[in-house]
Chain A
Amino acid sequence: MSGADRGPSSGAAAAAQPPAMLLVEPNFMLRRTIALTARNIGVGEIHECSSYEAAERTLSTLRCDGVFIALNEEPGGMRLISRLREGATACAADVTIAVMADQFDKARVDALLAQGVARILLKPIKVRHIFEAVAALSRREPAAAPATAN
């Protein structure tokens, strides 16, 4: 995992810099394949964390343009989203957030939309669908309700 502080993103230099994202995903194969493929095709740097705790530590110094979080039954995922929105990390408080999970109920979707989550994806998910979501996020498309990309 790389974790360099990018500093404030503004101006022409920032525009020329490829986007940096943090992927919080415990599944090694999914996480590594996404990060390495992003590097290979040059769509930007995808930093990796396998746990919410590691993500909180990383985001204390790493400024990202987007954060992709795999949610499970633990509260840490929603807490991480709250921390991001509170501006308690090195990211801008309005940083683009996308989430994925095995299931979503209405209460959870409502909570995510209230936090301004831009993409909600259902697992199982393919690597190519993650890249499609990343591309959509880079175009700043409006928030979408949970949907599989299948």
Chain B
Amino acid sequence: MLAAAIPDNDRERLRTLHGLLVLDTPAEERFDRIVQFAKDEFEVPIALISLVDEKRQWFKARDGLQACETDRDVSFCGHAIHSPKIMMVEDALRDPRFADNPMVTGAPFVRFYAGAPLIMPGGFAVGTFCVIDTRPRRLDSLELAILETLRDLAVLELSGGESA
């Protein structure tokens, strides 16, 4: 397994994340409805708004996953925040970064992952909006555009209406 690298700007990125004052807050309908919509639209078992903290990823909204957080070093989202584009892993078992990841070899048995970085107005990616499946698959260009739209809606909610 390849643990996600720590971005060079992680200190500033974390400052942006912590400034949102959203970590460890209760579930909110305005976020829950976005992940529920994604789960239905993409017919996936899991959809998440994941915030990548210093040592963990914490889920502001989750549908289909019991855990409220996982270690950062096993997170897919820790990889996805490195690029402004959607990170898509069509089959984690065929990807050397993730093939022996405990999230792949054990519950929730991730095989497919698509995560759009939550890039805040200051330019820092504080986490991802992601969909996960237990079978290999891929998203076409329209589905990727829909995922980006849902990500944009999540960013709007996180930033209080100020778009990136």
Check if A32 is an interface residue, CB within 8 A of chain B.
yes
Check if B146 is an interface residue, CB within 8 A of chain A.
yes
- With both beta carbons as reference points, the residue of chain A lying nearest to B42 in the complex is identified as A126
Known: A41-B142, A128-B143. A29 touches B34 (CB 8 A): yes
Asked if A33 and B150 make an inter-chain contact with CB atoms under 8 angstroms apart, the answer reads: yes
Bound-state CA distance A78–B150 (Å) is 31
Known: A124-B40, A126-B41. A33 touches B142 (CB 8 A): no
Check if B152 is an interface residue, CB within 8 A of chain A.
yes
Q: Which label, helix, strand, loop or mixed, suits the secondary structure of the A interface?
A: helix
Residues from chain A with Cβ under 8 Å of B149 in the complex: 32-33, 36-37, 40
Interface size on A, residues (CB 8 A): 14
Check if A149 is an interface residue, CB within 8 A of chain B.
no
Check if B63 is an interface residue, CB within 8 A of chain A.
no
Residues from chain A with Cβ under 8 Å of B141 in the complex: 41
Known: A36-B153, A40-B148. A29 touches B37 (CB 8 A): yes
| B contacts, CB < 8 Å to A | 33-34, 37, 40-41, 141-143, 145-146, 148-150, 152-153
